[in-house]
Amino acid sequence: MTQIKIFDTTLRDGEQSPGVNLNQLEKLELAKQLERFGVDIMEAGFPASSKGDFDAVKKIADTVKNVSVAGLARAVKSDIDACRDALKNAVHPRLHVFIATSPIHMEYKLKKTPDEVIETAVEMVTYGKQFFDHVEWSAEDASRSDLDFLAKIIEKVIDAGATVINLPDTVGYTMPREYGAMFKYIKENVPNIDKVDLSCHCHDDLGMALANSFAAVENGATQVEGTINGIGERAGNASLEEFAVALKIRNDYYPYHTQIVLNETKRTSDMVSKFTGMTVPGNKAVVGRNAFAHESGIHQDGVLKNAETYEIITPELVGVHSNNLVLGKHSGRHAFTDKIKQLGYDLPEEKLKEAFKAFKLLTDRKKEVTDDDLFAILTDIQTDTSNVRRYQLRHFQVQYGSNDQPSASISLSTPDGETIENTSTGSGSVEALYNTLDQIVTEDTHLTDFQLNSIGQGRDALAEVHVSLTVDGRTVSGRGSAQDVLEAAVQAYINGVNRAIYQQKSNLV
């Protein structure tokens, strides 16, 4: 069976989702999980775009060993130089350079003639090839490009040293038959096409990203690009976990396979959802909470008699376990350490002590601690930026009655080491808390989004809050989890402000 390479761009295209703002520690944890998930290539970022992106790409390249790490570059020497410097310590570095090829992009965005675009593409691939054995060249807006021109430029960039040719459906415009026909045409009309991998990169503006990806594979593509949970610009990208699982389930139809470790699917999806604040819809294929729920009496009866009547994907295949109750109040340090290693975490001693303390505090309130609870604790601790002075919650109190206006009192430790307390009111408890926080913090803050979810099930489930904020003009996200919804809301707000401080102190602009 032919292997289809998986090119993950969650850390680059995925982070361009509106409202998503990942810090360097979060990107590194996601990179480690993507490595466990078995992707072949991860696009770690766009090094030339900012110091923060450069540093994150460099840290990832220095850390992961079993995955090819790619940096994105425009067809500009300085962009390629930034990728070279960021990826210099990578075990398997890769350059991804792109230029637009559609008439509308060449005329209005690039303001270049087709011959000038070919000249630039060849020059930049040749330049990049000096530093990288693997160079992927992308024809931005390929699906709206002239096929004869596309064949001409592809032949020349392959001669210049490109090892992968990517034909993106950049604006999610194409239908599967059209997209497949483009790959077929290129396979038949580019004489040196057998020297490279053909790659597809599909956006989901018309809901066709996954179907288009399969159409590309059916017509010669050997690499599929996408993101976890299908996140990305506008309507997102092809969902990689859906592609990998579909290929596995329908191996009777497709003679292809991937290297994806399918039982890491749910954990990878959960981590992306937690860090980005983009909640996975219940009806999402493969990883949605309803994917294995059978509410209909007819369905329930069939599944009880033979699971294959309605269940084509077993929960275990993607890492969902019905019984994941693991630890309780009397569990000791040794059992806790063993469990977090099973979950794939490797914490230094200081953070291990912090995680165990948080676990013990949780068991005082919650009888049984699940994998989901541990996941929330561990990801928060592993991505903590406490090395930078920040705001810390000391205590809060809310007064609320059905006939009274809610009021909130909060005491915070400030980055300067002071303790400040204030009180304010609001039309609801959360607004009262946030009005109070606005009066305490010195930064100019504005809340743009608020999301509340539960971790696990039952009345003692942890609450998780995600917020989007602008802090001194900088867009950041924040998250907090606690058994009390209001405490989670306060922690999420403070986390967002602290992230802005961390970015400013680290000069990540």
> Which residues are annotated binding-site positions for Mn(2+)?
13, 201, 203, 237
**Could you tell me if 422 and 407 are in contact, meaning their C-beta atoms sit under 8 angstroms apart?**
no
**Could you tell me if 105 and 135 are in contact, meaning their C-beta atoms sit under 8 angstroms apart?**
no
Between CA 10 and CA 22 the distance in angstroms is: 11
Nearest to 101 by CA among 136, 149, 148: 149
Q: How far is CA 17 from CA 13, 160, 189, 360, in A?
A: 7, 33, 36, 36
- Binding site residue list: 13, 201, 203, 237
Q: How far is CA 320 from CA 264, 286, 288, 303, 310, in A?
A: 9, 10, 11, 17, 17
Burial, 22: exposed, middle or buried (Cβ in 10 Å; 0-12, 13-18, 19+)?
buried
Between CA 472 and CA 306 the distance in angstroms is: 58
Q: How far is CA 5 from CA 96, 199, 235, 327, 496, in A?
A: 15, 9, 23, 38, 36
Between CA 209 and CA 239 the distance in angstroms is: 8
Nearest to 428 by CA among 447, 454, 456, 455: 447
Tokens of 307: 């699971």
Between CA 419 and CA 348 the distance in angstroms is: 30
Nearest to 467 by CA among 481, 457, 484, 483: 481
Residue 453 phi/psi, 5-degree rounding, is -140, 165
Output 414-422 pairs: Cβ under 8 A, ≥24 positions apart. 414/440, 414/442, 415/389, 415/390, 415/391, 415/501, 416/389, 417/389, 419/394
Nearest to 476 by CA among 445, 507, 453: 445
Tell the residue number behind the tokens 């069939």, with chain if given.
302
Please work out, in degrees rounded to the nearest 5, the angle formed at the alpha carbon of residue 314 by the alpha carbons of 201 and 226.
Answer: 10
Between CA 330 and CA 500 the distance in angstroms is: 39
Between CA 353 and CA 336 the distance in angstroms is: 11
Letter for the amino acid at 321?
Answer: H
Per DSSP, the three-state class of 469 is strand
Between CA 58 and CA 89 the distance in angstroms is: 8
- How big is the chain, counted in residues? 509
First to last CA, the chain: 46
